[in-house]
Structure 1
Amino acid sequence: MTASDPAALARFLTLADTSEVLAISLSQAYALVRSGELPAIKVGGAGHWRVETTVLQAYIDGKYEENRRRGLWQQAEYADVAELFIER
């Protein structure tokens, strides 16, 4: 199974498959999982991480939405107004 073939994806992906889908390094995928940003489960006696394909897709969709909202904010009328600070 290769992560580049969507038809071959199983319910759960290894971190190596996950990193391939996201086009990031294995250590970056591990960091996303360890931080909790990308939900995953540990399975087996050695505790290998697995990411559910639906969870990965939701993560990707969420990132697209986050970037869309950031773009809208940057286009907003007041996006370039400096924050006001009150000196005490």
Structure 2
Amino acid sequence: MTGSPRFLTLADVAEILSTSSAQVYALVRRGDLVAIKIGGRGQWRVESSQLEAYIERAYNDAATFVAEHPFLESESKSEF
């Protein structure tokens, strides 16, 4: 078998997204990131294609947010 694995652990996904396993678990439990439970202990696995689809949706959501909330020049001036 060559290339990337088809399925990733939550820890793998957390590393790829530079976040915690707990945050990835929360994404799965909310239904934001599609995953499956396997084995007797019910370990979660995320298919690589599902992770890529989640990332694409996140980019689209961010673009929508930016379009709906334009950056104002006054935001760049911080009062420290």
SS in 2 for 1:37: coil
- Shift, 1:29, TM fit: 0.8
Between structure 1 and structure 2, the one with the greater Rg is 1
1:30 lines up with 2:18 in the alignment: no
Q: Which runs of 5+ in 1 are unaligned?
A: 1-6, 76-88
- For structure 2, the residue ranges without an aligned partner over 5 or more in a row are 71-80
How many angstroms does 1:57 deviate by? 0.4
| SS of corresponding position for 2:69 | helix
TM-score for the superposition, normalised by structure 1: 0.73
Q: Identity across aligned pairs (percent)?
A: 48
Deviation beyond 3 Å, 4+ runs, structure 1:
none
Higher RCO (CA 8 Å, separation ≥ 6 residues): 2
Give the alignment's Cα RMSD to 1 decimal.
Answer: 1.3
2:30 and 2:20 mapped to 1: Cα distance?
16
TM-score (norm 2): 0.79
